[in-house]
Chain A
Amino acid sequence: MRHAFVLAWRHLAFHKGRTALLVVAIALVAFLPLAVRRLVEAGSTALRARAASTPLVIGARGSELDLVVAGLYFAKPTPREIRYGELARLADSDALAIPLHAGFTARGIPIVGTSLEYFDMRGLRVADGRTFALLGECVLGARAAERVARDPGKLVTDAADPYNLAGTIPIVLRPVGTLAETGTADDDAIFVDIKTAWTIAGIGHGHQEAGAIRDPNDLIGTVPGPDGGHVITSERLRHAEEITPENVSSFHFHGDPETFPMHAIVVVPRTEKAATLLQGSFQRRDEPLQIVRPIEALERLLREILRIERLLHVILVAVAIVTATVVVVVFALSVKLRRDELTTMVRLGAARGTVALLVGAELVLILILAAALTTVGLAITTAFERTVERAMIGG
């Protein structure tokens, strides 16, 4: 038996090209369905876990899935804005309500404007530093921190529309902490206080004190008013691009905070009854908001994904049959081409069973190599589970 495997191995090693082709072909046929299954399973499990830990999400009426994806994964498309004042509607309910503002990015990493309760709700732990306390401060998810560390320099928000002069002005965010890795979408986000998100949106800003302007070119004039007067400045008035302890007091918001935007409210009812009551309160026909159970929206998505996977499996079965046929044909041709060699073995005294064992040993070795290659491939796919999870929700 050992000699058959030695001879088979030498033969395979001598015909490296043919061996590699067979091994790769068989490995691919085995790898593809297994990898798809593994990734879909891992993705589904992660999606379900995330959804299960987020009982309810409230947002503007529209696609339930978009709302869930934005609320749980901070992924595009960003749902329509809702007013911050909607939080007040939940004040009397027996539930924890956490605002979420999404849509902005820094170096392509999503910025999530929220409150500190979000960290408690998700069980997020600060591994290094502290949570945000002042305007402009941010806490980085574990993988976001790695990305930021790769490119030293100030962390500046991305301009939403660089050609819109009235749009948002990029500001510098100051990282003050890094979260421990969780293996969820929180690892890939930058968390700021929702007021910082409003500042990025241009609703809040800081600039030099108009009353302290000395350069006459910066002043257009003053308008008398009942309580003193208003100073009218030129566009040369310097706006702060970075919020620092020195200028933080100059930052202010214009307008009523109740009307300021956010994109979703994550709701954690304390009882099932509270959940039912909340869901009922958003069922009116003219209700501009919707309340969604993320697990239900994701289950619908997963059913579609599993249907696609089944279709893929049918295709792969066809590919497997073709590959198996090719392997059989290649082996049959190989035996035919090796007729002289195998006949020599029989003439020297080998039993026909020994010759069959030799050919069988080659097939076994090829299958072992293919299995090893498949295992390596599957191990590598583990690194892509997060990517697939995001791909499954279109992020």
Chain B
Amino acid sequence: MLSTSGLRYRYRQGPYESTPFELVARDLAVAAGTTLAIVGPSGCGKSTLLSLLAGERVPTAGEVRFGDVRVSALSDAERRRFRIMTVGLVFQEFRLLDYLSVLDNILLPCRLHPALPLDDRMRRRAHDLAERLGIGALVTRPPQRLSHGERQRVAVARGLLAKPKLLLADEPTGNLDPVGKRRLLDELLALATDDGAAVIVATHDHGLLSAFHQVYDFAAADAEVA
């Protein structure tokens, strides 16, 4: 379902950098209902690769395909619509809004794009996700009154709200204890794949790799940051 070919991304050169950095990624393919882990050391380009797959960034060479759609060839507006309707995103630092309740944070994508209307179906879906992720009793609380793990779950629920066909998660289990990490990852993978989504998770925790169908290792010889 998701595939890339010849993907390259040249970073904008900073004022004190003598040579430009370029991400060169080997081709990958992830089918619906399957999972892929992207591993590698900090700074290797895991987050950049995820943003290329999400259509947040446009590759300088190569392409990202999702089914019949050439994501990298879409216009800005089309890529935004693709993200909101097709992709679920779970960010590394949760990126929750302090001034919204847990429920409103989960429903936030509906307030950002007209293609995803905020209706009763979405509200029911948000409550259902909160229940399944064990934060059902916390939906009226502001995020700053939640524990680290609870905030993580809110971010996961937000990513799953629109029943995405592709879920991209960047270090979704960071800062959790080993038991907590595994439990949250299993819940995330189960919830996403139950709906038939392809799941790609960036992580530097090799202990979690057994949960995935495939592993994309940046340390391998054919993927590099040049």
Contacts and interface: CB of A to CB of B under 8 A. Distances in A.
A10 B99 contact: yes
Interface residues of A, number: 19
B26 interface: no
B100 A10 contact: yes
Interface of A: 3-4, 6-7, 10-11, 13-15, 340-341, 344-345, 347-351, 354
B100 A349 contact: no
Contact of A350 (B100, B112, B118): B112
Given A11-B99, A341-B97, A350 B104 contact: no
A13 B118 contact: no
B54 to A, nearest CB: 8
Contacts of B93: 340
Contacts of A14: 98-99
Contact of A3 (B51, B77, B97, B111): B111
Q: Which of B81, B89, B104, B112 has the most CB of A within 10 A?
A: B112
Contacts of B111: 3-4, 6-7
Nearest to B97: A341
A348 B108 CA distance: 9
B104 A349 contact: no
A7 to B, nearest CB: 6
Interface residues of B, number: 25
Nearest to A9: B99
A350 B80 contact: yes
Interface of B: 51, 54, 56, 77, 80-81, 83-84, 89, 91, 93, 95, 97-100, 104, 108-113, 116, 118
16 contacts: A6-B111, A7-B100, A14-B98, A344-B91, A344-B95, A344-B97, A347-B54, A347-B91, A348-B89, A349-B80, A349-B83, A349-B112, A350-B113, A351-B113, A354-B112, A354-B113
Contacts of A6: 111
Contact of A348 (B51, B84, B99): B84
Contacts of A10: 99-100, 104
B100 A345 contact: no
A334 to B, nearest CB: 12
B188 to A, nearest CB: 17
B109 A348 contact: yes
Nearest to B109: A348
A305 B202 CA distance: 73
A349 B113 contact: yes
B80 A351 contact: yes
Nearest to A1: B114
Contacts of B81: 349
A222 B47 CA distance: 122
B77 A351 contact: yes
Contacts of B100: 7, 10
Contacts of B95: 340-341, 344, 347
Nearest to B56: A347
Contacts of B118: 3
4 A-B pairs closest in CB distance: A349-B84, A14-B99, A3-B111, A350-B112
Nearest to A351: B80
Contacts of B110: 3
A152 B211 CA distance: 89
Nearest to A340: B95
A4 B108 CA distance: 11
Contacts of A348: 83-84, 89, 108-109, 112
Contacts of A4: 111
Contacts of B51: 347
A60 B54 CA distance: 92
B143 to A, nearest CB: 11
A349 B113 CA distance: 7
Contacts of B113: 349-351, 354
B99 A349 contact: no
Nearest to A4: B111
B214 to A, nearest CB: 25
Contacts of B108: 345, 348
A3 B104 CA distance: 11
Contacts of B84: 348-349
Contacts of B97: 341, 344
Nearest to A10: B99
Nearest to B110: A3
A345 B84 CA distance: 11
Contacts of A13: 99
A345 B99 contact: no
A73 to B, nearest CB: 55
